[in-house]
Homo-oligomer: A and B are copies of this chain.
Protein backbone atom coordinates (compact mmCIF):
# COMPACT_ATOMS: atom_id res chain seq x y z
CA UNK A 1 0.00 0.00 0.00
CA UNK A 2 2.21 2.80 -1.26
CA UNK A 3 0.83 6.24 -0.50
CA UNK A 4 0.34 8.20 -3.69
CA UNK A 5 1.89 11.59 -4.23
CA UNK A 6 -1.52 13.22 -4.43
CA UNK A 7 -4.20 11.71 -2.26
CA UNK A 8 -7.73 12.35 -3.45
CA UNK A 9 -10.13 13.68 -0.85
CA UNK A 10 -12.73 11.10 -0.08
CA UNK A 11 -13.82 11.86 3.45
CA UNK A 12 -17.30 13.32 3.50
CA UNK A 13 -17.59 17.06 3.49
CA UNK A 14 -14.03 17.90 2.58
CA UNK A 15 -13.59 20.08 -0.46
CA UNK A 16 -10.37 20.92 -2.25
CA UNK A 17 -9.73 24.54 -1.56
CA UNK A 18 -6.06 24.98 -2.30
CA UNK A 19 -4.93 23.76 -5.68
CA UNK A 20 -1.38 23.22 -4.46
CA UNK A 21 -2.02 21.31 -1.27
CA UNK A 22 -5.20 19.51 -1.90
CA UNK A 23 -5.58 18.14 1.59
CA UNK A 24 -4.27 21.06 3.57
CA UNK A 25 -6.08 21.48 6.88
CA UNK A 26 -5.87 25.24 6.60
CA UNK A 27 -7.80 25.28 3.39
CA UNK A 28 -10.92 23.62 4.64
CA UNK A 29 -13.40 26.17 3.42
CA UNK A 30 -15.07 27.34 6.57
CA UNK A 31 -16.69 30.68 6.01
CA UNK A 32 -14.62 31.57 2.97
CA UNK A 33 -16.13 32.75 -0.27
CA UNK A 34 -14.79 31.72 -3.68
CA UNK A 35 -12.60 34.78 -4.17
CA UNK A 36 -10.99 34.14 -0.82
CA UNK A 37 -10.52 30.48 -1.56
CA UNK A 38 -8.68 31.34 -4.73
CA UNK A 39 -6.38 33.67 -2.85
CA UNK A 40 -5.21 30.81 -0.67
CA UNK A 41 -2.90 29.71 -3.45
CA UNK A 42 -0.84 32.77 -2.59
CA UNK A 43 -0.06 31.12 0.71
CA UNK A 44 2.15 28.47 -0.75
CA UNK A 45 5.72 29.61 -1.15
CA UNK A 46 6.86 26.47 -2.90
CA UNK A 47 7.34 22.79 -2.38
CA UNK A 48 10.04 20.65 -0.86
CA UNK A 49 10.72 16.97 -1.23
CA UNK A 50 12.25 15.24 1.78
CA UNK A 51 13.88 11.83 1.58
CA UNK A 52 13.17 9.20 4.21
CA UNK A 53 15.12 9.81 7.43
CA UNK A 54 15.98 13.34 6.36
CA UNK A 55 14.96 16.37 8.43
CA UNK A 56 12.39 18.89 7.29
CA UNK A 57 13.81 21.14 9.99
CA UNK A 58 15.89 20.76 13.13
CA UNK A 59 15.61 22.14 16.65
CA UNK A 60 17.35 25.49 16.87
CA UNK A 61 16.99 26.41 13.22
CA UNK A 62 15.32 29.75 12.52
CA UNK A 63 11.62 29.52 11.99
CA UNK A 64 10.26 31.00 8.77
CA UNK A 65 7.48 28.79 7.56
CA UNK A 66 5.03 26.11 8.50
CA UNK A 67 4.46 23.15 6.22
CA UNK A 68 1.47 21.31 4.83
CA UNK A 69 2.28 17.68 4.14
CA UNK A 70 1.32 16.87 0.56
CA UNK A 71 2.54 13.30 0.67
CA UNK A 72 4.29 11.07 3.17
CA UNK A 73 4.63 11.38 6.92
CA UNK A 74 6.91 12.73 9.61
CA UNK A 75 7.79 12.38 13.25
CA UNK A 76 8.70 15.28 15.52
CA UNK A 77 11.05 14.70 18.41
CA UNK A 78 12.89 16.47 21.18
CA UNK A 79 16.34 15.42 22.35
CA UNK A 80 17.74 15.63 25.87
CA UNK A 81 21.41 16.49 26.39
CA UNK A 82 22.16 12.92 27.43
CA UNK A 83 20.78 11.51 24.20
CA UNK A 84 17.33 10.47 25.31
CA UNK A 85 14.77 11.04 22.59
CA UNK A 86 11.10 11.79 23.02
CA UNK A 87 8.89 11.55 19.96
CA UNK A 88 6.27 14.26 20.42
CA UNK A 89 4.10 13.41 17.47
CA UNK A 90 3.52 11.73 14.13
CA UNK A 91 2.18 13.81 11.25
CA UNK A 92 0.62 12.41 8.14
CA UNK A 93 -0.52 13.54 4.71
CA UNK A 94 -2.74 16.60 4.86
CA UNK A 95 -1.60 17.74 8.28
CA UNK A 96 0.25 20.88 9.28
CA UNK A 97 3.72 20.70 10.80
CA UNK A 98 6.01 23.34 12.26
CA UNK A 99 3.75 25.26 14.64
CA UNK A 100 6.27 24.89 17.45
CA UNK A 101 8.53 27.53 15.94
CA UNK A 102 6.24 30.53 16.26
CA UNK A 103 6.83 31.27 19.93
CA UNK A 104 10.60 31.75 19.77
CA UNK A 105 11.22 32.21 16.04
CA UNK A 106 13.33 29.06 16.42
CA UNK A 107 12.18 25.52 15.86
CA UNK A 108 11.96 23.70 19.15
CA UNK A 109 11.99 20.14 17.82
CA UNK A 110 13.21 18.04 14.92
CA UNK A 111 10.91 16.99 12.12
CA UNK A 112 12.11 13.84 10.34
CA UNK A 113 10.50 12.20 7.33
CA UNK A 114 9.37 8.63 8.00
CA UNK A 115 9.23 7.96 4.24
CA UNK A 116 9.98 9.95 1.09
CA UNK A 117 7.66 12.92 1.46
CA UNK A 118 6.66 16.23 -0.02
CA UNK A 119 5.48 19.40 1.68
CA UNK A 120 4.05 22.76 0.71
CA UNK A 121 6.01 25.60 2.26
CA UNK A 122 3.79 28.25 3.85
CA UNK A 123 5.86 31.30 4.76
CA UNK A 124 4.64 32.35 8.17
CA UNK A 125 4.72 36.08 7.41
CA UNK A 126 2.46 35.46 4.44
CA UNK A 127 0.07 33.43 6.55
CA UNK A 128 -0.22 36.18 9.16
CA UNK A 129 -0.77 38.75 6.46
CA UNK A 130 -3.45 36.81 4.63
CA UNK A 131 -5.24 35.74 7.78
CA UNK A 132 -5.62 39.40 8.71
CA UNK A 133 -7.59 39.80 5.50
CA UNK A 134 -9.48 36.53 5.38
CA UNK A 135 -11.47 35.83 8.50
CA UNK A 136 -12.09 32.20 7.62
CA UNK A 137 -8.39 31.52 7.22
CA UNK A 138 -7.56 33.18 10.51
CA UNK A 139 -10.18 31.12 12.30
CA UNK A 140 -9.07 27.93 10.63
CA UNK A 141 -5.46 28.56 11.58
CA UNK A 142 -6.41 29.13 15.19
CA UNK A 143 -8.36 25.90 15.13
CA UNK A 144 -5.35 24.01 13.84
CA UNK A 145 -3.18 25.35 16.66
CA UNK A 146 -5.84 24.67 19.27
CA UNK A 147 -6.35 21.15 17.98
CA UNK A 148 -2.63 20.57 18.40
CA UNK A 149 -2.92 21.63 22.05
CA UNK A 150 -5.91 19.36 22.66
CA UNK A 151 -4.11 16.47 20.98
CA UNK A 152 -1.07 17.03 23.19
CA UNK A 153 -3.30 16.97 26.27
CA UNK A 154 -4.55 13.60 25.10
CA UNK A 155 -1.00 12.34 24.89
CA UNK A 156 -0.28 13.69 28.36
CA UNK A 157 -3.29 11.77 29.65
CA UNK A 158 -1.96 8.68 27.93
CA UNK A 159 1.58 9.08 29.26
CA UNK A 160 0.55 10.08 32.73
CA UNK A 161 -2.34 7.78 33.52
CA UNK A 162 -2.42 4.76 31.25
CA UNK A 163 -0.77 1.36 31.33
CA UNK A 164 1.19 -0.06 28.40
CA UNK A 165 -1.65 -1.89 26.68
CA UNK A 166 -4.02 1.02 27.03
CA UNK A 167 -1.44 3.32 25.48
CA UNK A 168 -0.95 1.08 22.48
CA UNK A 169 -4.71 0.61 22.05
CA UNK A 170 -5.22 4.37 22.12
CA UNK A 171 -2.42 4.79 19.61
CA UNK A 172 -3.86 2.23 17.21
CA UNK A 173 -7.34 3.73 17.43
CA UNK A 174 -5.91 7.17 16.79
CA UNK A 175 -3.94 5.99 13.77
CA UNK A 176 -6.95 4.13 12.42
CA UNK A 177 -9.06 7.25 12.75
CA UNK A 178 -6.52 9.42 10.99
CA UNK A 179 -6.14 6.94 8.14
CA UNK A 180 -9.91 6.79 7.84
CA UNK A 181 -10.18 10.57 7.63
CA UNK A 182 -7.85 10.34 4.64
CA UNK A 183 -10.04 7.89 2.81
CA UNK A 184 -8.16 4.71 3.66
CA UNK A 185 -9.71 1.63 5.14
CA UNK A 186 -10.21 2.16 8.86
CA UNK A 187 -9.21 -1.36 9.71
CA UNK A 188 -6.04 -1.91 7.76
CA UNK A 189 -2.94 0.23 7.44
CA UNK A 190 0.81 0.35 7.36
CA UNK A 191 2.68 1.98 10.21
CA UNK A 192 5.58 3.99 8.89
CA UNK A 193 7.47 4.15 12.17
CA UNK A 194 9.52 1.55 14.04
CA UNK A 195 8.64 -0.10 17.34
CA UNK A 196 11.25 2.08 18.97
CA UNK A 197 9.59 5.27 17.67
CA UNK A 198 6.18 4.09 18.79
CA UNK A 199 7.70 3.28 22.16
CA UNK A 200 9.30 6.68 22.49
CA UNK A 201 6.01 8.36 21.65
CA UNK A 202 4.13 6.21 24.17
CA UNK A 203 6.74 6.35 26.90
CA UNK A 204 7.56 2.65 26.57
CA UNK A 205 10.53 0.55 25.48
CA UNK A 206 10.42 -1.18 22.13
CA UNK A 207 10.23 -4.60 23.76
CA UNK A 208 7.14 -3.56 25.67
CA UNK A 209 5.49 -2.34 22.48
CA UNK A 210 6.34 -5.59 20.74
CA UNK A 211 4.95 -7.66 23.60
CA UNK A 212 1.74 -5.63 23.70
CA UNK A 213 1.28 -6.19 19.97
CA UNK A 214 1.73 -9.91 20.50
CA UNK A 215 -0.80 -9.95 23.31
CA UNK A 216 -3.33 -8.06 21.16
CA UNK A 217 -2.73 -10.60 18.44
CA UNK A 218 -3.26 -13.51 20.86
CA UNK A 219 -6.49 -11.95 22.08
CA UNK A 220 -7.76 -11.55 18.54
CA UNK A 221 -7.89 -7.76 18.72
CA UNK A 222 -5.57 -7.07 15.80
CA UNK A 223 -3.63 -8.97 13.17
CA UNK A 224 -0.04 -7.76 13.24
CA UNK A 225 2.57 -8.50 10.65
CA UNK A 226 5.52 -6.26 11.31
CA UNK A 227 4.28 -2.85 10.18
CA UNK A 228 1.10 -4.07 8.61
CA UNK A 229 -1.81 -3.71 11.02
CA UNK A 230 -5.34 -4.99 10.65
CA UNK A 231 -7.79 -4.12 13.37
CA UNK A 232 -10.11 -7.05 14.05
CA UNK A 233 -11.99 -5.86 17.11
CA UNK A 234 -12.35 -2.10 17.27
CA UNK A 235 -14.70 -2.20 20.24
CA UNK A 236 -12.36 -4.49 22.09
CA UNK A 237 -9.60 -1.91 21.76
CA UNK A 238 -11.93 0.87 22.83
CA UNK A 239 -13.01 -1.08 25.87
CA UNK A 240 -9.36 -1.51 26.80
CA UNK A 241 -8.74 2.21 27.19
CA UNK A 242 -11.78 2.77 29.41
CA UNK A 243 -12.52 0.47 32.30
CA UNK A 244 -9.60 -1.82 32.74
CA UNK A 245 -9.57 -4.49 35.47
CA UNK A 246 -7.97 -3.18 38.61
CA UNK A 247 -9.35 0.36 38.89
CA UNK A 248 -11.29 1.29 41.95
Contacts and interface: CB of A to CB of B under 8 A. Distances in A.
Size category, A interface: 35 or more
B145 A86 contact: no
A173 to B, nearest CB: 14
Nearest to A104: B150
Contacts of A100: 146, 149-150, 153
Interface in A78-135: 78, 80-88, 99-104, 108-109, 128, 131-133, 135
A160 interface: yes
A139 to B, nearest CB: 7
Nearest to A200: B160
A238 to B, nearest CB: 11
A156 B247 contact: no
Interface string A34-50: 00000000000000000
A152 to B, nearest CB: 4
A243 interface: yes
Contacts of A232: none
A147 B103 contact: yes
B200 A243 contact: no
Contacts of A247: 82-84
A78 B200 CA distance: 22
A172 interface: no
Nearest to A159: B159
A138 B132 CA distance: 8
Contacts of A153: 76, 78, 86, 88, 100, 108-109, 152
A155 interface: yes
A16 to B, nearest CB: 22
Contacts of A85: 161
Nearest to A203: B160
Name, among A80, A87, A128, the residue most crowded by chain B CB atoms within 10 Å (CB to CB).
A80
Contact of A201 (B104, B131, B139, B160): B160
A227 interface: no
Interface of A: 76, 78, 80-88, 99-104, 108-109, 128, 131-133, 135, 138-139, 142-150, 152-157, 159-161, 200-203, 242-244, 247
Given A88-B157, A99-B145, A159-B160, 6 more contacts: A82-B247, A84-B247, A86-B153, A86-B161, A104-B150, A108-B153
